[in-house]
Amino acid sequence: MSDKVEVKKEPKLTALRAQKDPEYKCVEPEEWYTAVFDKAETGQGNFGPYVKFSFTLRNGSFEDTTSAKGHKVNRLMDATLSPSKPLWKWIKVMIGKEPEIDKEYDVSAFYGEKFRVLIKDKEKRKGSKDDRRFQVVDTIKRLKKEE
């Protein structure tokens, strides 16, 4: 028998380099862009369930005139699908008709589809940690396959 005690060495903490925040680029607001619908994610937020729609721009430019192709844009909204909510309008655009009460809709069928998206500027509420401007997809329109 050995009275030897094994001592484990603590792993060294990897050094982390401080850096500037990434530059936030904005596309021209109040403009329509062609975009591909990437995905929709659901979650639970401070105010209840939400859905986040993500798109990738296929055209347009940033305010500094560099190309915005490949830029990601999102829209976060209440996940309640009822006639008075914005999600109702979005589902209507996607499926091409008025949604039916008590019916479920799987938007993943539209992943990879092209849409026209209207980008609008928003500002974070006063008192938030970050008061910068940000942009969201305000409205969508479905593009025909040949467009």
Per residue in 47-59, pLDDT (tens digit) is 899 999 999 999 8
pLDDT score recorded for residue 106: 93
Structure tokens belonging to residue 22: 């990434």
Domains of the chain: 31-142 (2.40.50)
Per residue in 74-130, pLDDT (tens digit) is 999 999 999 999 999 999 999 999 999 999 999 999 999 999 999 887 776 666 565
C-alpha separations of 95 from 6, 48, 60, 103, 109 in Å: 65, 25, 26, 12, 10
What does the DSSP 8-state code read for residue 65? Answer: S
